[in-house]
Amino acid sequence: MAKFRMVHTEFWDDPKVVEEMTPEDKYFFLYLLTNSNTTQIGIYQITKKQMSFDTGHSIETINALLERFVKYHQNIVYNPETREIAIKNWGKYNFNRGGKPVLDCVNSELKSVKDLSLIPIVGRHIEKPEIKKIYESYYDTPTIRGQEKEKEKEEEKEKQQEKEEAPASAVSPSKFFEENGFGVIGGYIAEKIIQWCEDLSDELVVEAMKIAVESGAKNWRYVEKILINWSNQKIKTVEEANALGLAFKESQSKQYTYKNGKGPVRTEQLPDWFDESEVRTVQKVTENPDLANKKRDLQEKLKKLRGEGNGET
């Protein structure tokens, strides 16, 4: 029997989707709503390997996307131990019909959920009272309430630990700029760096500088183009930036064109922030001066020899 999942047209008008989701986010979210593992209750079991196979993304990209949806968009919860995922607003569009068959199906599928703390995450957003009541029967108990409180304590502990570890591992963007050959920071560049750190984060500014160093373009203009692209893509963490880069490389490897009817030829697509002139400028500045002097001397000698050969004195 074929399964159908409903995606309402209002999906494309949702402010969160329009303003906060990148094209990659939209594709992944639609996949989470419609893949073959989905159930009637909005909680289902799926492995990261399966997600990778279905979407064509690497495991690293899947990890980054899941983290983005859990921590930034906050519309799913994923339990890596039970490999279960819960879609918070599942009930908003998927329970338009009721009746005994639907109620029986919901009750049956809720019994198979391993992580019971996922049930209230979906249940609290369900509007139909008869269906909501079934969900509540699974989590409105002392045992489940105890599990939820324990989970909240663990999350608070993890957040506190992240805050304590962050300053120790942070790298100063200004220090990285000067220590890695970008030059001495003037007042204008310093203000730019501070502004971008406030708009994005210190970590993302440093990550953009690292990309510039690896690309052989140690100048602020190149770094800022990367930051502008990340800002437009709503990137908030280094993991998300890396995922965007991985997704770009994967899409790049799949792009082919046919030339002279001789078969597929790969065409390279460059990121929006890439500027070849920036790289060429840096390469010209870093040319060996001794080599340039020798080249000039040889050119003068050749000119003299040609003059003697033509009878010039």
Position 213 scores a pLDDT of 92
| Mean pLDDT, the chain, whole residue set | 80
- Count of beta carbons in the 10 Å neighbourhood of residue 208: 25
Mean pLDDT in residue range 279-285: 50
Percent of the chain with pLDDT over 90: 30
Residue 200 in contact with residue 210, Cβ under 8 Å?
no
The lowest-confidence range among 72-86, 189-203, 227-241, 246-260 is 246-260
Backbone angles phi, psi at 33, to 5 degrees: -80, -20
User: Alpha carbon of 109 to those of 3, 42, 88, 106, 141: distances in Å?
Assistant: 15, 10, 16, 5, 19
The lowest-confidence range among 44-53, 138-147, 244-253 is 138-147
User: Alpha carbon of 181 to those of 92, 178, 187, 279: distances in Å?
Assistant: 53, 6, 17, 14
Which pTM does this prediction carry?
0.52
CA–CA gap between residue 185 and residue 179 (Å, rounded): 11
pLDDT above 90 for 207 = yes
Position 49 scores a pLDDT of 93
Position 256 scores a pLDDT of 52
Position 285 scores a pLDDT of 46
Mean pLDDT in residue range 278-303: 64
Q: What is the pLDDT of residues 87-125, one digit of tens each?
A: 998 877 677 666 788 888 899 999 999 999 999 999 988
Q: What is the pLDDT of residues 31-85, one digit of tens each?
A: 999 999 999 899 999 999 999 999 998 888 899 999 999 998 899 999 999 999 9
pLDDT above 50 for 2 = no
Mean pLDDT in residue range 121-133: 88
